[in-house]
Structure 1
Amino acid sequence: MNNPDNNFSADPGPERLLLCSDLDRTILPNGPWPESSRARPLLRRLAREPRFKLAYVSGRDLVLLRAAIVEYEIPPPDYAIGDVGTTIYRVTDGNWQVLPAWQEEIAGDWRGKTSSDLAPLLVGVEGLRLQEPEKQNTCKLSFYTPARFPGGATERERLLAQVRERLAPADIRACLIWSIDEEKDCGLLDLLPERAGKLPAIRFLMRHLGFTPADTVFAGDSGNDLDVLGSELNAVLVANAPEEVRRQARELVRAAGREETLYCATGNFRGLNGNYSAGVIEGLVHYQPRIITWLDTA
């Protein structure tokens, strides 16, 4: 990274900036890696800047989103994309309000059906176990899978292909997102409307707020962030991201000819180690060096 820590004392910073960040093991220090103690205080300071808009992007539902903010003392967001991109909330003075326009936009992909209508179509698919009712919503059907398949990625792809085959006769347009819960040592499979997911929800929010890729940054750490990490958006992978995710993300941007849109944090900013919030801040400074002013004065 260039040395952005110099020569910005008189710079007012960018006109505005939207950070869309994953929570678990990205901003939240709930993995096995050490956290820099100054990272979350710096994030709270940054969130006080009026030109900075913060959106959390998470698989968590509303209850778990709010619980994380309290437990980890992270700043309340301006917006939150929850349930793996199927719900968008506007947050004002502690009030969380759903943006109904987003769910209206994605609902058509399932032909008016809900997750409870789709679940019976997948009964008997080996390797799938339905997640708890509180982890489902109208536009999200979630399963547990093995964390590791005996046949590796090929066997995992066969499972996903079987799911698609079951949905096809009902003309269901679905997006399948598979990731690993390292704490529980299990796989997670989320079925969403085709136009749902983190990346489409972020793009919708950008349009809603009038942001462009030039003034938007995404931060993540896991396999379910890959669609955003490989997109046109400037993206940050925190230092604690698994090496496999780092490799896949690099392959995606290389294939698309936009390697400049992926930054992998290494821990070279102000003595922070690059894990969790430290990596998010490091990446923000990489893309928008002038926010140094905000960190020092907010």
Structure 2
Amino acid sequence: MRGLEPASSQQHAPIHLNGSAPPRQDVLNGHAAGAAVAEPVLQFHYRTSWQQPTLHRSINGGEWQGVPMRQVVSGGGWWEAADLKLAAAAASGNGSGAGSAAPPLLEFVVTDGRDAWDKAADGSNYAIAAPGRWSLRDGQLAEASLPAVLVCSDLDDTMIGDDAATAAFSSWWHEEAVPAGGRLVYNTGRALDLFERLLAEKGHCMAEPDMLISSIGTRIYVKQGGRWVEDEGYTATLGEGWQLEGVREACYRALAQVGKDAMHFRPPSEMSEHKVTCGVRLDVLDSVLGGIKRDLGEGGVQHRVVVSGSGDWRFVDLVPREAGKLQALEYARRTLGFAPDQTVACGDSGNDIDMLEGRHRSIVVGNAHPVLLEWAEARQRGLAAGTPGGQLLVAGGHRAHGILEGLQAFGFCLS
């Protein structure tokens, strides 16, 4: 849901798209979809206050090497991660001589890059015997007991709106989800500046995301060098068939038909070269949409219309055909390396329908607008009758409590 009101001070190390992805569950098990054998991967998370820790490791008794770790943006400033591809490293291993014990798959220590070292309690090196997802905190090495999850959530009245609920989600996220390989994406109608304002206001209870989808799926940002940087690769996919001036002209013609008391353009801060937004009174909505769609169809403009809001007025967003919350979610999912059944979308209003009807799992929070609850009821009937799509759960809990409820039902959260 869009907020009625239009960054955290935490500074983070750069996040690199090609290095930030948690390995998919089928890859961790050695069998990637569509491939007979995949290179085994070990994902390692480390909880620390060190700014730039380095993992010193030996794989299968091979050469010791230093691996710089990267900060997990959604980890609250505490979690660092490294992904180790094991097959190539194993090829350079020394093996073991006759009669000697086989070396562990991974032997390692962690250093702060200066004089401090983190070793096992007895002073020896840490050791891991099998691929998978592992974490180390306070000297305790553990294999993940929960599956990794990509949570892609709307913000207003879904993730936020109840500070206690938001804080409960953030606490679970930092303590359980991140060390299990989880990653967090916000999928919001807010533009970047409004998101940063929100994050500054709610930083005491709200987790920072690993990726931000903003402006109804027309922009994607990642955190690099302490600031949010646009993913230009995604933006470049949005131009085909889109004509900004043609869309604006169609909206101006609709406004002339119904008058400025029934329709208006939203402030420039809510629009971009790939997004035109108007406020439209409910009683003229069908007429306005009909006129805009007719004009754009005649002009050959490829577009998507997203309607949201409640009461006597509606937001009408016009974006490129390739844009939208679902398209952006799919891009984020592929970029971060998650399968559909590891991905959970969460929303509360009509403009979330787009992202809730994909192949992934979805949660409708208990405080959802009537239009979304009606859609969810019809969607569940369709799924029960065999319509393709991912699992959909309508939670009883409101806002972030509903998200946690759904994640528990899907098996990603213990309590």
TM-score past 0.5 threshold: yes
State how far apart, in whole Å, the 2-side matches of 1:69 and 1:36 are.
Answer: 12
Q: 1:109, 1:195 within 8 Å by CA — same for their partners in 2?
A: no
State how far apart, in whole Å, the 1-side matches of 2:342 and 2:146 are.
Answer: 8
Match of 2:275 in 1: 140
Summarize the alignment of residues 27-176 of structure 1 with structure 2, pairs less than 5 Å apart.
27-29=159-161, 35=162, 37=164, 39-48=165-174, 49-50=178-179, 51-73=181-203, 74-92=206-224, 94-110=226-242, 113-114=243-244, 116-125=245-254, 126=258, 127-146=262-281, 148-149=282-283, 156-176=285-305
Q: 2:265, 2:277 within 8 Å by CA — same for their partners in 1?
A: yes
Return the offset for 1:275.
1.1
State how far apart, in whole Å, the 1-side matches of 2:372 and 2:147 are.
Answer: 32
Q: 1:79, 1:90 within 8 Å by CA — same for their partners in 2?
A: yes
Instruction: Give the letter for the 1:108 counterpart.
Output: E
State how far apart, in whole Å, the 2-side matches of 1:85 and 1:282 are.
Answer: 26
Is the aligned partner of 1:179 residue 2:314?
no
Return the offset for 1:174.
0.5
Which of 193, 207, 214 lines up with 2:341 in the alignment? 214
State how far apart, in whole Å, the 2-side matches of 1:165 and 1:139 are.
Answer: 19
Return the offset for 1:120.
2.0
> In percent, how many aligned pairs have the same letter?
26
Instruction: Give the letter for the 2:189 counterpart.
Output: G
Which protein has greater RCO, CA pairs closer than 8 Å, 6+ apart? Answer: 1
Task: State the secondary structure of the residue aligned to 2:309.
Answer: strand
Instruction: Give the letter for the 2:293 counterpart.
Output: R
Summarize the alignment of residues 253-272 of structure 1 with structure 2, pairs less than 5 Å apart.
253-256=380-383, 257=387, 261-266=391-396
Is the aligned partner of 1:231 residue 2:361?
no
Higher helix share: 1
Per-residue CA distance 1:67-103 (angstroms, 9 max, x = gap): 1122123111000100010000112464211111111
Is the aligned partner of 1:20 residue 2:139?
no
Which of 321, 328, 331 lines up with 1:194 in the alignment? 321
Q: 1:47, 1:53 within 8 Å by CA — same for their partners in 2?
A: no
Q: 2:376, 2:394 within 8 Å by CA — same for their partners in 1?
A: no
Instruction: Give the letter for the 1:54 counterpart.
Output: L
Return the offset for 1:44.
1.6
Normalised by the size of structure 1, how large is the TM-score? 0.80
Instruction: Give the letter for the 1:78 counterpart.
Output: D
State how far apart, in whole Å, the 1-side matches of 2:219 and 2:213 are.
Answer: 6
Q: 1:20, 1:54 within 8 Å by CA — same for their partners in 2?
A: yes
Return the offset for 1:109.
2.9
How many residue pairs end up in the alignment? 259
Per-residue CA distance 1:201-249 (angstroms, 9 max, x = gap): 0011111122111100000000001122222221111111123311112
State how far apart, in whole Å, the 2-side matches of 1:128 and 1:253 are.
Answer: 35
Task: State the secondary structure of the residue aligned to 1:85.
Answer: coil
Seen in structure 2, the aligned counterparts of structure 1 residues 223 and 46 have a Cα distance that, compared at 3 Å, is: same
Q: 2:151, 2:184 within 8 Å by CA — same for their partners in 1?
A: yes
Return the offset for 1:287.
1.1
Normalised by the size of structure 2, how large is the TM-score? 0.58
Instruction: Give the letter for the 1:13 counterpart.
Output: S
Per-residue CA distance 1:89-133 (angstroms, 9 max, x = gap): 1124642111111111111130xx33x553123213124311111
Task: State the secondary structure of the residue aligned to 1:177.
Answer: strand
State how far apart, in whole Å, the 1-side matches of 2:182 and 2:294 are.
Answer: 44
Task: State the secondary structure of the residue aligned to 1:108.
Answer: coil
Give ranges in structure 1 of 5+ residues lacking alignment: 1-9, 30-34, 150-154, 267-273
Q: 2:360, 2:390 within 8 Å by CA — same for their partners in 1?
A: no
Instruction: Give the letter for the 1:24 counterpart.
Output: D
Instruction: Give the letter for the 1:25 counterpart.
Output: D
Match of 1:247 in 2: 374
Seen in structure 2, the aligned counterparts of structure 1 residues 93 and 55 have a Cα distance that, compared at 3 Å, is: farther
Per mean C-alpha deviation after superposition, the further-off stretch among 192-201 and 67-76 is 67-76
Seen in structure 2, the aligned counterparts of structure 1 residues 260 and 195 have a Cα distance that, compared at 3 Å, is: closer
Return the offset for 1:277.
0.9
